[in-house]
């Protein structure tokens, strides 16, 4: 009987810690390294062009991507 109570208490404590971490740690903390922006200026025949691109790690479950081109 004591072992059963101990197991129940242990499971409740672990679940409480996990839920607290999910609430305290924002999703943006894990997404900081998943999006990288870069740009490069290219000169050809006296004309300058700037190329900009974004690299996104799509394995992050907290990151929402809305593709937009201009």
Q: Are 37 and 67 in contact (CB under 8 A)?
A: no
Separation in Å, CA 33 to CA 30, 37, 51, 64: 7, 11, 21, 14
Q: Are 34 and 60 in contact (CB under 8 A)?
A: yes
Number of independent structural domains in the chain: 1
Q: What is the pLDDT of residues 19-56, one digit of tens each?
A: 665 556 555 555 566 778 899 999 989 999 999 888 88
Please give the model's pTM, rounded to 2 decimal places.
0.40
Examine residue 28 and state whether it is found in any structural domain, yes or no: yes
Examine residue 70 and state whether it is found in any structural domain, yes or no: no
Structure-model confidence comparison of residues 30 and 62, the more confident one = 62
Residue 43, pLDDT score: 92
Examine residue 30 and state whether it is found in any structural domain, yes or no: yes
Structure-model confidence comparison of residues 63 and 2, the more confident one = 63
Domain ranges, residue 11: 2-56
Examine residue 67 and state whether it is found in any structural domain, yes or no: no
Examine residue 15 and state whether it is found in any structural domain, yes or no: yes
Examine residue 13 and state whether it is found in any structural domain, yes or no: yes
DSSP letter at 15 equals: H
């Amino acid at each position: 009987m004591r072992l059963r109570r101990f197991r129940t208490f242990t499971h409740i404590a672990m679940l409480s810690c996990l839920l607290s971490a999910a609430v305290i740690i924002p999703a943006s903390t894990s997404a900081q390294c998943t999006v990288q922006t870069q740009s490069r200026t290219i000169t050809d025949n006296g004309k300058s062009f700037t190329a900009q691109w974004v690299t996104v790690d799509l394995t992050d479950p907290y990151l929402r991507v809305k593709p937009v081109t201009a």
